[in-house]
Structure 1
Amino acid sequence: MNENVEQWQVRKPAVSSPDGAVAAQHWMAARAGAAMLAQGGNAVDAAVACAMALNVVEPWMCGLGGSGFLVVWLAKDREARVFNFQGTLAEAIDPADYPLDPAEPASLMGYPGVRDQANVRGYGAITLPGAVAGLSAALTAHGRLSWAEVLAPGIALAERGLPVDWHTTLQVALAMDLIRRDPAASAIYLPDGAPPLPETYRPLPALTATLKTLAAEGPQSFYQGSLAEKIAADLKAGGSRITIEDLAGYTVEQHAPLSGSHRGAAIHTAGETSGGARLLDMLAYLEDAFTPGEAVGPDTWIAYARGLDQAFATHKRKVGLAAAGAEEGGCTSHMSAVDAEGNMVALTYTLLNRFGSGVVLPQTGILMNNSVSYFDPRPGNPVSMAGGKRINSSNMCPTIATRDGQALFAVGASGANHIVPCTAQITALLLDYGISLEEAFHSPRIDASARGSVRVNPAMGTDGVAALAKVFELEVAQLMVFPKLYSCPSGVLRDPETGTCWGASDPSAPAAGAAIPAPFSLTPEGTGTTAPRA
């Protein structure tokens, strides 16, 4: 083995239950979701509760100020549906506010730099957040429990405060330059001007009050009620062009999934504006060009890399990006849920960058997105800025696979440009080789996105690395906690014959975990989780 590779391995066993499972990037959020199953709720209730809890325990990734996609499989109807709650630009958005500046770095999405990074940080980077509207719409349409019930674990977590472990301290430290620009964000995340120490809790009084208001007054208050007035006032004071009329006009798009097939299974993704098109293109390449053998081998990784490169090259031509030079990093949350009846949810939502815009709205405690950087500041492209325009190009690709009218698995990931390669490979591994969910999550992966090279995890062995090196220019990099070079997946699987449900999460993400149904508690004992204490 390469002497420059660290000599350690981490393994997280999958959890299983006949009554369902939830997997997420934080074990406390997974428990919050699994508690809904214990209360008689279904996979939609579990996913929404999990998402609301993540807003508290993993705020740098997602939250009330974010947006995303939810894909649901309805077992009784044998149908998949999509809730697109992506953010939209203010009606009064003005591209003149975002002049190009070659001295500034490109945005996360790879578009040219803008003066003072106005599309990346601060109030000018914020789009209308769709999370509350999208999650509540899915709950109303397909959940069993009330809005207040699914918010209860998140409120309990918020009352206790943001749990700080070493990983939280790392995340804050990585974003210090952004956070210190905003007084409200600094007050929470930079006590005494520095990242908080592990084994502490940071109070969240404004966010706690906001969650309680949402529970009492309903999700509509975020867009047309008392919360909307506070949100609009804070945005205006900070210089955002978003108005209270923009908030009132926000809508969730509900539609059929973008679907394809692979090895006899139907694959349902979030739609053309998600990363699902690339995932399906990669799988279509494999159907035509690759016949899997008895076990995963070098030929597997070569085929997967070729398929991904081809899919990304097509995507980049479509959105006006160069064929190479894709973005790195990015911060998002994915969660998957399954219940005893075979309903499944794959849900991905995000603030886009780590800590989004770096803005915490003072009156509500909401950390806001920086999704204006999803848009090309140059005119004339499909993803260029326009008033009221919805985000129409994303890497998020929550995915559900079904066969013969029954759900097989739900999977997705975080990690910007790494999301599609990760999700596509796990999907392919499960269907190409019939391996277990746990084995798929612990299999080494490559990362390819038409950037001129392929990143490879040396855990696949010297023969695999050598075989890839004959075909591609390689970047050899192991799977680590940071940087997250191979994305951060969470998934669930259900055996249609036995009804056993499984949940698994990224083994290299310290707080990620899966949980099975149990009453919610703020303490870890007796909960059936796979992750250590935060």
Structure 2
Amino acid sequence: MTTTADQWSTRKPFVTNPAGMVAAQHIAAARAGAELLGRGGNAVDAAVAAALALGAVEPWMCGIGGSGFMVIWLAREGRAVALDFQGVLAAGVAPGDYPVDPALPVTSMGFPAVRGFANTQGATAVTVPGAVAGFDHALARYGSRSLGEVLQPAIRLADEGIPASWFCTLMIASEMAILRRDPVAASVFLPEGVPLQPGAQLRIPGLAGTLRRLAEKGAEGFYRGDLGCDIAAELQALGSRIGMDDLARYEVLDHPPMEAHHRGTTLFTPGEQSGGLRQRDFLAHAGRAMPAPGPRPDAASWLVYADALEAAWRAHRQRNGTLSEVGCSTSSLSAADAEGNMVALTYTLLDHFGAGIVLPRTGLLLNNGVSYFDPRPGRRTSMLGGKRINSSNMVPTVGVHDGVAEFAIGASGGDLIMPCVAQIAALMLDFGMTLEEAIHLPRLDASHRGSLRADPRLGPAVLDWLAATYTVEVSGNVVMPKLYACPSGVSRTADGRFGGINDPALPDGGAAGPEPQSAPTGVKGAQ
């Protein structure tokens, strides 16, 4: 076994409220979602408000220049829906735009790098962002508030800025080499050539104005109006092929989610384009290998989880031919309301700070989603003009038992996402744990990469048992690198309240509920 020297352990409060809950990777975003619940909004309104706020307070992870997935449980209708608002390549993109350079290291998705890092850095790495379309669609079909109203907390945060935390400084410092290449990004995040210091104001010029324009003109203005024209012009000036036709063609996919069944609970995920199929494979393997779990997880059950993760990832790599995703820039959040609606939402810029640029007029950070595509031809994930991202690790999950949503969870962390979410769900369902217990429990990580990573808190007996089968890396759940992903979740509690929590090792994350006197409204059905 190998081990790391940096070992430490933290706990985070499990917040409860009878009228709903929002958990997110930044407490300010969770409070933004709770604010919508307090105004009478439902879980969809709260989730979108939190997601938009995250773009202002956690801009290295997500924003309206990103893309992702959402799973919604509609309590009145007793059904779940999945929204795919993943990125799309510009129609004019051709494989010849991205010639492979064998002298460069592979990308964060495990694909070959191309000349000048054109598929990972700068405007040439940007796919058409789907976040605005996804949020607008969710609100129009299933929410109770307008995009303009839901945007207000994000506008306020973008306008005023927030004091940078030490974690913010750490994230900026980790990407200095890329950020300093873009003059606008450098001016925002590297004032005087050094990372924004703790306590200094984090504020992105132009972002609040763009969010105000979005509130006024809606998604139509972003994809077919003046705001879209400005974004496309800024991108093209930096070398992107994305034009107004690409923005205007963008569509959200609204479809029945993938189902997995485990211990009497149905887990809904976005499906094969996400990490959902791997999660379903994991649960099926664990169910077969452990038909009657004991009262608490032991060495044998942790080995079952390791084997199940290995098998699920082996099948995935055979399907997609991908290597390892070694970097990530993703935000995940969950929301619930008093009526019983639940939402799990995950969206991303892909790598930290996405393409590493900030558009000078609109203040947008953009995804580097082109790196989701293999520059080599003939593969499932190969580049093709107008092609949608068809493989992702994101796996927002809603668990439903006897027609009632019991939990909504998701995580950020690239290859680490599915193992994290799947284990938290399995620990709850296999051993009757609460969400609070499951998130605080140590985890392991396996993704068919030749070794198994395990938290030392599992204990010597478990680690020795695992080491008899696997090459084990013993590594603690630290702030950076995030070796076991960063989960956020909400759940029902035994006393009928709603609880929420974010990863105990993420300093800025948290959960918040609405004011007690407020209650959310119903959720819209499909039109």
Q: Residue 508 of structure 1: CA displacement?
A: 0.1
Is 1:503 the equivalent of 2:500?
Answer: yes
Q: Residue 219 of structure 1: CA displacement?
A: 2.0
Task: Give the structure 1 partner of residue 313 of structure 2.
Answer: 312
Task: Give the structure 2 partner of residue 36 of structure 1.
Answer: 36
Partner SS state of residue 89, structure 1: coil
Q: CA RMSD in A?
A: 1.5
2:403 corresponds, among 397, 402, 405, to: 405
Write the distance in 2 (CA, Å) between the matches of 1:518 and 1:240. 45
Please list, as runs of the form range in 1=range in 2, the aligned pairs for 1:316-465 lying within 5 A after superposition.
316-321=317-322, 326-465=324-463
AA paired with 2:327? Answer: G
Query: Would you say the 8 A contact 2:8–2:478 is kept in 1?
Result: no
Task: Give the structure 1 partner of residue 521 of structure 2.
Answer: none
Please list, as runs of the form range in 1=range in 2, the aligned pairs for 1:14-163 lying within 5 A after superposition.
14-163=14-163
Write the distance in 2 (CA, Å) between the matches of 1:3 and 1:418. 19
Query: Would you say the 8 A contact 1:69–1:347 is kept in 2?
Result: yes
Partner SS state of residue 337, structure 1: strand
Please list, as runs of the form range in 1=range in 2, the aligned pairs for 1:292-303 lying within 5 A after superposition.
292-303=293-304
AA paired with 1:302? Answer: L
Query: Would you say the 8 A contact 2:3–2:473 is kept in 1?
Result: no
Write the distance in 1 (CA, Å) between the matches of 2:361 and 2:515. 35
Write the distance in 2 (CA, Å) between the matches of 1:235 and 1:56. 20
Write the distance in 2 (CA, Å) between the matches of 1:81 and 1:203. 35
Q: Residue 6 of structure 1: CA displacement?
A: 4.5
Q: Residue 498 of structure 1: CA displacement?
A: 4.2
Query: Would you say the 8 A contact 1:413–1:488 is kept in 2?
Result: yes
Q: Residue 17 of structure 1: CA displacement?
A: 1.1
Query: Would you say the 8 A contact 1:342–1:494 is kept in 2?
Result: no
Question: May I ask how many residue pairs the two structures share in their alignment?
Answer: 515
Write the distance in 2 (CA, Å) between the matches of 1:328 and 1:457. 19
Write the distance in 1 (CA, Å) between the matches of 2:305 and 2:14. 25
AA paired with 1:433? Answer: F
Q: Residue 188 of structure 1: CA displacement?
A: 0.9
Q: Residue 131 of structure 1: CA displacement?
A: 0.3
1:213 and 1:77, CA in 2 relative to 1: closer, same or farther beyond 3 A?
same
- Deviations, residues 315-351 of structure 1 (Å, cap 9, x unaligned): 0111123xxx523231200000011111000000000
- Deviations, residues 515-534 of structure 1 (Å, cap 9, x unaligned): 11139xxxxxxxxxxxxxxx
Write the distance in 1 (CA, Å) between the matches of 2:336 and 2:255. 21
Q: Residue 169 of structure 1: CA displacement?
A: 0.6
Task: Give the structure 2 partner of residue 288 of structure 1.
Answer: 288
- Deviations, residues 251-288 of structure 1 (Å, cap 9, x unaligned): 11100001110011011001110011100100010111
- TM-score by length of structure 1 reads 0.94
AA paired with 2:22? Answer: V
Query: Would you say the 8 A contact 2:4–2:475 is kept in 1?
Result: no
Query: Would you say the 8 A contact 1:398–1:410 is kept in 2?
Result: yes
Query: Would you say the 8 A contact 1:442–1:507 is kept in 2?
Result: yes
Write the distance in 2 (CA, Å) between the matches of 1:8 and 1:315. 33
Q: Residue 499 of structure 1: CA displacement?
A: 2.7
Query: Would you say the 8 A contact 1:57–1:163 is kept in 2?
Result: no
Write the distance in 2 (CA, Å) between the matches of 1:5 and 1:61. 28
Write the distance in 2 (CA, Å) between the matches of 1:357 and 1:8. 33
Query: Would you say the 8 A contact 1:22–1:47 is kept in 2?
Result: yes
Write the distance in 1 (CA, Å) between the matches of 2:318 and 2:71. 26
Q: Residue 471 of structure 1: CA displacement?
A: 1.4
Gaps of 5+ in 2: 517-527
Query: Would you say the 8 A contact 1:327–1:416 is kept in 2?
Result: yes
Partner SS state of residue 205, structure 1: coil
- TM-score by length of structure 2 reads 0.96
- Deviations, residues 472-508 of structure 1 (Å, cap 9, x unaligned): 110111110001000000000014x743111011000
AA paired with 1:126? Answer: V
Write the distance in 1 (CA, Å) between the matches of 2:487 and 2:160. 27
Q: Residue 162 of structure 1: CA displacement?
A: 4.5
AA paired with 2:388? Answer: R
AA paired with 1:103? Answer: A
Q: Residue 163 of structure 1: CA displacement?
A: 3.2
Query: Would you say the 8 A contact 2:28–2:53 is kept in 1?
Result: yes
Query: Would you say the 8 A contact 1:162–1:204 is kept in 2?
Result: no
Partner SS state of residue 314, structure 1: helix
Q: Residue 513 of structure 1: CA displacement?
A: 0.3
AA paired with 1:506? Answer: D
Query: Would you say the 8 A contact 1:444–1:459 is kept in 2?
Result: yes
Partner SS state of residue 184, structure 1: helix
Q: Residue 161 of structure 1: CA displacement?
A: 1.6
Q: Residue 360 of structure 1: CA displacement?
A: 1.1
Q: Residue 368 of structure 1: CA displacement?
A: 0.4
1:91 and 1:288, CA in 2 relative to 1: closer, same or farther beyond 3 A?
same
AA paired with 2:375? Answer: P
Write the distance in 2 (CA, Å) between the matches of 1:494 and 1:220. 37
Partner SS state of residue 274, structure 2: coil
Write the distance in 2 (CA, Å) between the matches of 1:162 and 1:226. 29
- Deviations, residues 92-132 of structure 1 (Å, cap 9, x unaligned): 00111111111111111111121221100011100000000
AA paired with 2:479? Answer: V
Query: Would you say the 8 A contact 1:123–1:357 is kept in 2?
Result: yes
Which of structure 1's runs of 4+ aligned residues deviate more than 4 A?
2-7
Q: Residue 137 of structure 1: CA displacement?
A: 0.5
Write the distance in 1 (CA, Å) between the matches of 2:121 and 2:419. 27
Identity of aligned residues (%): 53
Query: Would you say the 8 A contact 2:53–2:153 is kept in 1?
Result: yes
AA paired with 1:474? Answer: V
Q: For structure 1, which segment, 264-273 or 107-116, has the greater mean C-alpha deviation from structure 2 after superposition? A: 107-116
Is 1:517 the equivalent of 2:518?
Answer: no
